[in-house]
Amino acid sequence: MEIITIECPNCKGNLHLDKGTEKCFCAYCRAEVMVREVASSSGTTLDSLVKRGFLALEFAEWDRATDSFDQATLIDPEHAMIYVGKLMVELELKHERTLGQHDKELTGYINYQKAIRFADSEFKKRLEKYNEEIIEVKQKKLEEDAEKRKAELERLKREHEKITHLEGKRREENALKQRKIIFITILSMVLIGLLIIVISFLNK
């Protein structure tokens, strides 16, 4: 269960409540507190809460940003920017433009789905553009990886052809050496035979 923080209108104490709570009693002064009314009428407007949340994001104050966006949902649970802020908290991003630099598609995140659902046509296009940028980067990386694999295969093919050529050349050289050895051996045997014949003839 998500926890939100609101201020008691009676004693100004901070109340930590489950998100979705409509009414509670202050733990400090025991006053009855209507959560939605406090969120919308205690001087904390929807715009100020959203601005406060995005300001907290810029300073990486994730918990403070979460509290601001949670309070904002009590005033307007169908405000697209609130869910963009929640998504940025989830991804620990400081600026909206960096959504397009995330390493995973945004469509898998519930806060992105809610933002798309409640966004007007222009804002929806902007959010979808961020997701398209991620897809484009992933596609480009896949293409680059494919090119690298292709280049590596070509290199391995050339290496294999080079090794095969060298082995063939070495076999040819070995075969030539063998033929030379056989020729020299035969020639030696012939010469020795002739020498024996000549010696035998001279001894007669």
Q: pLDDT tens digits for 126-136?
A: 999 999 999 99
- Asked if the model's pLDDT at residue 46 lies above 80, the reply is yes
pLDDT at 31 (0 to 100): 78
pLDDT at 19 (0 to 100): 64
User: Residue 116 corresponds to which amino acid?
Assistant: I
Task: Report CA 123 to chain centroid distance, whole Å.
Answer: 25
Asked which of 123-127, 134-138, 167-171, 199-203 is least confident by mean pLDDT, the reply is: 199-203
Mean pLDDT in residue range 44-57: 90
pLDDT at 5 (0 to 100): 67
pLDDT at 26 (0 to 100): 80
Euclidean distance between CA atoms 111 and 109, whole angstroms? 6
- Asked if the model's pLDDT at residue 200 lies above 90, the reply is no
What SS3 state is found at 30? coil
- pLDDT mean across residues, the chain: 87
Mean pLDDT in residue range 36-49: 66
Residue 201: which pLDDT band, with cuts at 50, 70 and 90? confident
CATH topology for 3-138 is 1.25.40
Asked which of 15-24, 43-52, 138-147 is least confident by mean pLDDT, the reply is: 15-24
Residue 63: which pLDDT band, with cuts at 50, 70 and 90? very high
pLDDT at 32 (0 to 100): 75
Mean pLDDT in residue range 15-33: 74
Query: 24: buried, middle or exposed (CB in 10 Å: 19+, 13-18, 0-12)?
Result: middle
Contact criterion met (CB below 8 Å) for 16 and 33: no
- Which H helix or E strand runs over 33? strand 32-34
Euclidean distance between CA atoms 12 and 139, whole angstroms? 53
- Asked if the model's pLDDT at residue 85 lies above 60, the reply is yes
Domain boundaries, the chain: 3-138
Query: 45: buried, middle or exposed (CB in 10 Å: 19+, 13-18, 0-12)?
Result: middle
Euclidean distance between CA atoms 17 and 71, whole angstroms? 11
Which position has the token pair 């093919």? 157
